[in-house]
Chains A and B, each alone.
Chain A
Amino acid sequence: MLLRIVGRCSSRWTTALCLLALVLAGCGSEQYPQTTLLPRGDFAKIADDLLDTTVRWALLVFVLVEGVLLYAIFRFRGRPGDPEPHQTHGNTTVEIIWTVVPALILAAIAVPTVRAIFQTNAVPGKEALTIEVVGHQWWWEFRYPEYNLTTANEMHVPMGRMVSLRMGSNDVIHSFWVPQFAAKRDVFANRETRMWFTAQVEGDYPGQCAEFCGIQHGRMAHRIKAQKPEEFQAWVAHMQTLGAKPAATAAAPAGNAKYTEGEKLFTAKGCIACHSMVAVNSPKGMVGPNLANVGARSYLAAGTLKNTDENLARWIRDPQGIKKGVLMPNLGVTEAEAQALVAYLRRK
């Protein structure tokens, strides 16, 4: 793996900066799970290829111009008693050369740029999997119209099938960013924006909101879970069992009093006003994330906490202490009540 990375680096980040990049930053996906430099999808590959092109030219210009500057600094340093240097005022030929050469370099960048602009703006065909993305302060809603499914913060996508994102916002502007597969696109309350990608490498990848959207902009992360097609289909099939009302017997050990109490508290404490426990045909525009499969997620509160029983209970009791300003109020839930709610929410 490391060798591949180094090899990859030296082919694209030429010479000195490659070493510097490795030392300073490296290219490993393990160290940098959110990196844009190791594309694993077609859209991201287009962006990365373009970056490679510009970086190559930029490095060349950088080395040449800074080199000439350094040379001038040493070569023309003045000494006491030096005569007045020759008073040149300019040189038309030179001016023309250093106008035309950069223009040519820019043209070399512009041609692939324009091609890539049109490629990335292409509209996916009907065979693509459409996922609706809705930005909320401060979490992401994902809807799969093809399967009538809704989920939050963790998007499952099948490898090899193009995903067509149709995106909007429930409130302010956010930006949906999938660094490994695509790039980013802003989402608005009053217009639909689009992006597409095909996941080519399996895995669980982090991303986060990239447009400042209020006090908890820093805590608006999501995950993309790229799965083998059959695993994805299994996930869909499972999600479709999370229908109208959770069947207590299916989700909890028989006679689990805690679970039943949690189910009651979910209504009594008002959780149900903002959260849906239903994955299928769930209503649009809920204030809080859909919790139908919250037990199966890796993180809570849009990447704020690892999804453990302890963290979930903490979160239920004190969301304002953990994520100040979040729209979920502190509801005066006791520790025992929190435990019951956790038992209820462990449904996967």
Chain B
Amino acid sequence: MATRVLDQPHAHAAAHGEKTGLWSWITTVDHKRIGVLYGATAFIFFLMGGIEALLLRIQLGSPENTFLSPDLYNQLFTMHGTTMIFLAVMPLSAMFFNYLIPLQIGARDVAFPRLNAFSYWVFLLGGLFLNASFLFGAAPDQGWFGYANLTSKQYSPGLNVDFWMLGLQILGIASLAAAVNFFVTIVNMRAPGMTLMRMPMFVWMSLITQVLLLLAFPVITVALILLMYDRFFGSAFFVPSGGGDPLLWQHLFWIFGHPEVYILILPAFGIVSEVLPVFSRKPLFGYAAMVFSGVFIAFLGFGVWSHHMFSTGMGPLADTFFALTTMLIAIPTGVKIFNWIGTMWGGSLQYRTPMLFAIGFIAMFIIGGLSGVMHSSPPADLQQTDTYFVVAHFHYVLFGGSIFGLTAGAYYWWPKMFGRMLNERLGQLHFWLMLIGFNLTFFPMHFVGLHGMPRRVYTYPEGLGFDLMNQIETAGSFVLALAFLVFLVNIFQTWRKPRNAPADPWNGATLEWAIPSPPPEFNFAEIPTVHGRDALWEQKRQRGGPLPEPARVSGAGIHMPNPSYWPLVTAVGILAFFVTLMMLAKIGIWAVIASFALLLLGVYKWAYEPAG
């Protein structure tokens, strides 16, 4: 294992012409910088979503509480869900896609670097747009799945639903552009010798995630367009009085919404599959089974959507079909869990912070998976759906799963991304606080749900027996907040230290650990050739020991794409288009046309700008 410490932070930055300053970030097309931008932005949104959750928990801490008004509560729970899904977990995964996919497949950048920058800017502006609704006192308040016909103009006359519906369309553009980009990158830009079945598991799970994004997002896009037509132009797709059917929205939403769940969890599966082998010092158990179970989960993910709709009364045949497909998904998911434990089995487990989070992920995800099987049974689900039992279930999947996995990834790749090792003690403290706080917050929700507490209620009366469990949950949520405070302290402390991370602090198995920390702009001075799975372990094995610390070499002669601000201009054009569309009645059609012209200008200049 490499132990040499580099501590000349500025020397090599300057020596290799690392670009600095705000303008370099605005015009950057470097996948690593875009990854950092994604991560930082998403983390800020994550903290906002967390603060929203704390406010919700304070309100529910005691019965008949008046800390939040009902309308504010509804805005906060809607924005908490929307933020955590679209502005936190998805872009945090996008951070890892950006940073790691090119490094792990041995490429110098993604397939379309400017498109990549474009995705980020659209995501940022979409996130700001959604949150700008708070400034108008009109944050979305109809729940993150926005069931029609509550979202119709008649029942939601305000701007709230407009912000949500347009915000998600903007974010959808970002996700689709990014998905095309990463899909092409993985399919087409692998280093010589890196066959599909030699790809790191994170890359595999990323590839599957992109496919899900590509196939699921168009469905929600159409649903949102139809809703937009209903609200802006007076059609009646989801309006019963006009012959439309609100149930159609549920079908469209969940055809997107269920694959979306796998979009949120598969990247974490990938991360954990990278972390566990390295800290077990043995390869991933059942690589092929892991790949195929991932593919199978994604495939089945398109055939289970109506299990979110058992309470709508679809009839016995549809109920049976969706119950059985849902149960089937438990099989590949179980295979994954068993293979992770199989990876640990017989290993030499190193309990560093990333490993703790990865094991925490397995332990918590098992619980989320089992409660999932419980409500795959429609008659049982008729009691559980829309109660806190479901809230418990999906937090065990999305927090116990996704967030634990993403946090494992953050600790694991932090030295690679920033050249600094996070403090191990604070990391362990973060883990234990998070594990305890998480279970205190969400485990009682199983019981309070089965005992009859529906979700999305801004308060509950005394005498239903919900008080004590809600108090525990609220206390737990503050322990969770404390855990992330420790993480923030760790980040700030680490930031002030010199760059001390070696290239390969963990004895990594994948190619990103072969290059300096942080990597030079061009990643690989020479594109590596791959001879097997766990490419870097393979190299070390052939050499019979650890590799020498890679030298920082000049990138002269290596052709890298030019920086560009046209992706940002185009993104601004898209935002302006949606904003003017929302204010169509007030400012007129010319503003919409002007912003569309800006969008076209951005695309035109982008298309004819030399890419380098």
| A residues with CB within 8 A of B | 21, 24-26, 31-37, 44, 46-48, 50-51, 54-55, 57-58, 61-62, 65-66, 68-69, 72-73, 76-79, 82-91, 94-95, 98-99, 102-103, 106, 109-110, 113-114, 116-121, 137, 171-173, 175, 177, 179, 183-186, 188-191, 193-195, 206, 208-219, 221, 303, 324-325
For residue B350, CB closer than 8 A to chain A, the reply is: yes
How far apart are the CA atoms of A183 and B289 in the complex, in Å?
39
Contacts of A33 in B (CB 8 A): 452, 463-465
Task: For the complex formed, measure the closest distance between the CB of A211 and the CB atoms of chain B, giving whole angstroms.
Answer: 6
A-B contact count (CB 8 A): 292
Whether B459 contacts A218 by the Cβ 8 Å rule is yes
- Besides A35-B451, A85-B348, A183-B379, 13 more A-B contacts (Cβ < 8 Å) are A31-B465, A32-B451, A50-B377, A51-B380, A51-B383, A54-B380, A76-B346, A78-B348, A85-B280, A102-B331, A184-B311, A212-B386, A215-B71
**B20 adjacent to chain A (CB < 8 Å):** no
> For residue B399, which residues in chain A have a CB less than 8 angstroms away from its CB?
none
B52-88 interface (Cβ within 8 A of A):
69-71, 73-74
B334 touches A217 (CB 8 A): no
**Chain A residues closer than 8 Å to B341, beta-carbon distance:** 65, 68-69, 72
CA distance A94 to B337 in the complex (A): 13
Find out whether the CB atom of A179 lies under 8 angstroms from the CB atom of B379. Answer: no
The list of the 10 closest CB pairs from A to B, nearest first, reads A34-B452, A183-B382, A78-B348, A25-B447, A218-B457, A190-B240, A90-B286, A32-B465, A31-B465, A189-B240
Q: Are the C-beta atoms of A47 and B382 separated by less than 8 Å?
A: yes
| CB-based contact A214/B345 at 8 Å | no
Contact of A214 among B150, B319, B385 (CB under 8 A): B150
Is the pair B286, A95 in contact by a Cβ cutoff of 8 Å? yes
| A298: min CB distance to chain B, Å | 12
Task: Using known A-B contacts A54-B373, A89-B283, A324-B70, determine if residue A188 contacts B460 with beta carbons closer than 8 Å.
Answer: no
How far, in Å, is A96 (CB) from chain B's closest CB?
Answer: 10
Q: Which of B124-168 contact A (CB under 8 A)?
A: 141-143, 147-150, 155
Expressed in whole angstroms, the Cα–Cα distance for A114 and B316 within the complex equals 8
Nearest CB in chain B: distance from A77 CB, A: 5
Bound together, the chains give a CA A259 to CA B34 distance in angstroms of 73
B359 touching A110 by the CB < 8 A rule?
A: no
Are B74 and A215 closer than 8 Å at their CB atoms?
Answer: yes
| In the bound complex, CA of A214 to CA of B240 (Å) | 17
A69 to B377 CA separation, bound complex (whole angstroms): 27
Residues of A within 8 A of B348 (CB): 76, 78-79, 82-85
Q: Are B323 and A110 touching (Cβ within 8 A)? A: yes
Q: A-facing mask of B78-105, CB < 8 A → 1, else 0?
A: 0000000000000000000000000000
Shortest distance from the beta carbon of B282 to any chain A beta carbon, whole Å: 5
How many residues on B have C-beta within 8 angstroms of the other chain's C-beta atoms? Answer: 94
The complex places the Cα of A66 from the Cα of B347 at a distance, in Å, of 18
CB distance from B510 to the nearest CB of A (A): 16
Using known A-B contacts A33-B463, A214-B155, determine if residue A191 contacts B247 with beta carbons closer than 8 Å. yes
Stretch of B203-211, B218-226, B362-370, B581-589 that contacts chain A? B362-370
Distance to closest chain B CB from A58 (angstroms): 4
Within 8 A of A (CB), among B274-308: 280-283, 285-289
Q: Output the nearest chain B residue to A303 by Cβ-Cβ distance.
A: B461
Quick one: given A25-B448, A117-B319, A179-B452, are A193 and B362 in contact (CB under 8 Å)? no
C-alpha gap A333/B414 in the complex (Å): 65
A-B contact list, 12 entries, CB within 8 Å = A33-B464, A35-B452, A69-B359, A73-B359, A78-B349, A113-B378, A114-B323, A117-B316, A118-B316, A189-B149, A218-B70, A221-B461
Q: Which residues of A contact B385 (CB under 8 A)?
A: 184, 210
In the assembled complex, B489 has its CB within 8 A of some CB on chain A: no
Are B377 and A77 in contact, with the CB atoms below 8 A?
A: no
Q: Which of A106, A171, A194 contacts B373, CB < 8 Å?
A: A106
B-side contacts of A177, CB under 8 Å:
454
In the complex, A173→B452 CA distance in Å? 20
CB distance from B534 to the nearest CB of A (A): 10
CB-CB under 8 A for A217 and B323, given A88-B346, A175-B386: no
Asked if A65 contacts B366 (CB within 8 A), the reply is: yes
- Residues of B near A61 (CB, < 8 A) are 366, 370
B199 to chain A, nearest CB (A): 15
B409 on interface, CB distance cutoff 8 Å? no
B246 within 8 A of A: yes
B8 within 8 A of A: no
| B346 close to A86 (CB less than 8 A) | yes
| B458 in contact with A117 (CB, 8 Å) | no
Give the residue name and chain of the B residue nearest to A61 (CB).
Answer: B370
Inter-chain CA distance A76–B349, complex, in Å, is 6
Residues of B within 8 A of A32 (CB): 451-452, 464-465
Chain B residues in 8 Å Cβ range of A37: 450-451
Contact of B313 among A34, A58, A88, A194 (CB under 8 A): A194
A217 touches B338 (CB 8 A): no
| Chain A: minimal CB distance from B238 (Å) | 10
How many angstroms between the C-alpha atoms of A57 and B148 in the bound complex? 37
Q: Does B175 contact A (CB under 8 A)?
A: no
CB-CB < 8 A to A184: which residues of B? 311, 382-383, 385-386
Q: Is the CB of A89 within 8 A of B469?
A: no
Which A residues are CB-close (under 8 A) to B383? 36, 44, 47-48, 51, 179, 183-184
A88 touches B452 (CB 8 A): no
Say how far B275's CB is from chain A's closest CB, in angstroms. Answer: 15
Task: Establish whether residues A208 and B454, one from each chain, have CB atoms under 8 Å apart when the complex forms.
Answer: yes
Return the chain A residue nearest B156 by Cβ. Answer: A214
Interface hub of A32, A86, A120 (most chain B Cβ within 10 A): A32
Complex-state Cα separation, A44 to B383, whole angstroms: 8
B69, B366, B383, B386: residue with the most chain A Cβ atoms closer than 10 Å: B383
Task: With both chains docked as a complex, state the minimum distance between the C-beta of B361 and any C-beta of chain A, in angstroms.
Answer: 11
Enumerate chain A residues within 8 angstroms of B200, measured Cβ to Cβ: none
Task: Given A32-B465, A66-B366, A190-B240, verify A175-B323 contact (CB < 8 Å).
Answer: no
Out of A87, A183, A191, A206, name the residue touching B282 (CB < 8 Å). A87
Contact A211 B147 (CB under 8 A): yes
